[in-house]
Amino acid sequence: MQKRIYGVETEYGIIFTPEGRKTLPVEKAIRFLFEKLITTEHFLNVFLENGARFYQDTGCHPEYATPECASPRDVILYDKAGERILEDLQIYAEEKIRDERIAGKLSIFKNNTDFVGNSYGCHENYLVDRDVDFYYLAEQLIPFLVTRQIYTGAGKVFQTQDGVHYCVSQRAQHIYQKISGTTTNDRSIINTRDEPHADREKYRRLHVIVGDSNMSEYTNFLKIGTCAVVLQMIEDNYINQDFTLRNPVKAIKDISYDTTCKRKLRLDNGREYSPINIQREYCEMAQKYLEQYPVSDELKMAVEMWQFSLDCLDSDPDKLDRHIDWLIKRRMIQSYIDRKDTTWNDPRVFMLDLQYHDIRMNRGLYYLLERAGSVERVLEDEEIIKGKTEPPPDTRARMRGEFIKLARQNSIQYDLDWSNIRLGNLLNVRVICNNPFETDIEKVAELVRTIQKTNLRKTSLSKLVIQS
């Protein structure tokens, strides 16, 4: 598929730290976050004007799902826009907490683990061709996903029985299967969920739940872009080498503990490769693929960044300490340790690790580094701000976002999901769009014009279904 739909779902960690005897349950803090968004929709499940979805997930985690995006760059743009939306809601929630006369600090983190060992996810979604056998696709993709953490990991300071370890990935330690149908218990590398929110005859949704949540725009773009290239090669039956790992679940944990990225992994065929070796093989295939098949400029850029990152990891990983999350964070912590003449066992090191992921731009350590010009960027601040309210122009999200704005401006009752919009007092006007690439359906545009002229609160409409 040269045209593909992308999306990312990010679960956030939330903590309230009281400064007195009176405290605030996390459940109530989350309700304050949603209170500003109250509409006619379900209270803890809201679609936004930019086409994204914001809701409460299992375990009291606020979760933001980007709108449908047609490029890797748009995915990371709307993912960042989600951080800014959540920051606005956090400021509002803090005002409500003060009104309750509760002293304390509300913190929201874009990470994947808490201090007691719980994990929450960052799920990538890729629209794929249903003609490609799912299990063939998964087997081809798993070695890539297991080893890509060397440039997509968010980094984590882990306390173990053997002492303190700095690991490449946060999520890797919580993966227990290759493929499964669950995202909370026996977490897998690839989830079997088959909810394409599109024409089921043509597409399925590949649900990847093994990745870390990334603060770095560079890391995030590299994560999505390289996976998109590999998917396209699989769909074109271009991959002609077998990198099947003998034990991928063990391998993903071993790689995370090895910050040299050079520990050998045993393949099913008996050969041994390091994570860098495996990634180089995929990358070299991608470079040859680019010479023979049409590929977008964004994916070409992703392959160039991929090659650069592997070269640095092989020769001098510190060259990536402005680019890749786990190396940016390691440099930051090591600088603190050297400056304070302390060690990795210092409890303050664990707090630095956590504060790197604080989404508040005036508190988060990643954003402190960003303001200092110490990290590489892909996006501009202006486009992120625009992404808070404007949907992508080239996917179905455009239609959804326009409907939401119109309905709120005119106090029109509505309900919707990814593929359906229902309008009117009785929700009896229904718009169905199973084509995620559709941006402007004439019948829908006509309905919009009708709504602008007619107040649906006072008009009884016969049941209407618009199918695209």
Distance CA 272, CA 277 (A): 9
Of 125, 124, 137, the residue nearest 233 (C-alpha): 137
Q: What is the CA radius of gyration of the chain?
A: 23
Is residue 120 within 8 Å of residue 184, measured between CB atoms?
Answer: no
Is 440 a residue of the active site? Answer: no
Catalytic residue among 57, 212, 321, 325: 57
Distance CA 37, CA 59 (A): 21
215 token code pair: 């603060």
Is residue 255 within 8 Å of residue 312, measured between CB atoms?
Answer: no
Between the alpha carbon of residue 67 and those of residues 64, 206, 301, 381, 391, the distances in Å are 9, 16, 23, 19, 7
Contacts of 351 (CB under 8 A, 6+ apart): none
| Residue found by looking up tokens 């994990």 in the block | 119
Element holding 416 (H helix, E strand): strand 414-416
Other Cβ atoms less than 10 A from the Cβ of 107: the count is 20
Contacts of 367 (CB under 8 A, 6+ apart): 358, 360, 361
Are β-strands 429-432 and 464-467 bridged in parallel, bridged antiparallel, or unpaired? parallel
Task: Specify burial of residue 422 (Cβ count, 10 A radius: 0-12, 13-18, 19+).
Answer: middle
Q: Strands, DSSP E only, in 228-378?
A: 265-266, 272-273
Instruction: Return the bridge partners of 208, or none.
Output: 124, 190
Distance of CA 413 to the CA centre of its chain: 30
Residue positions annotated with a catalytic role: 57
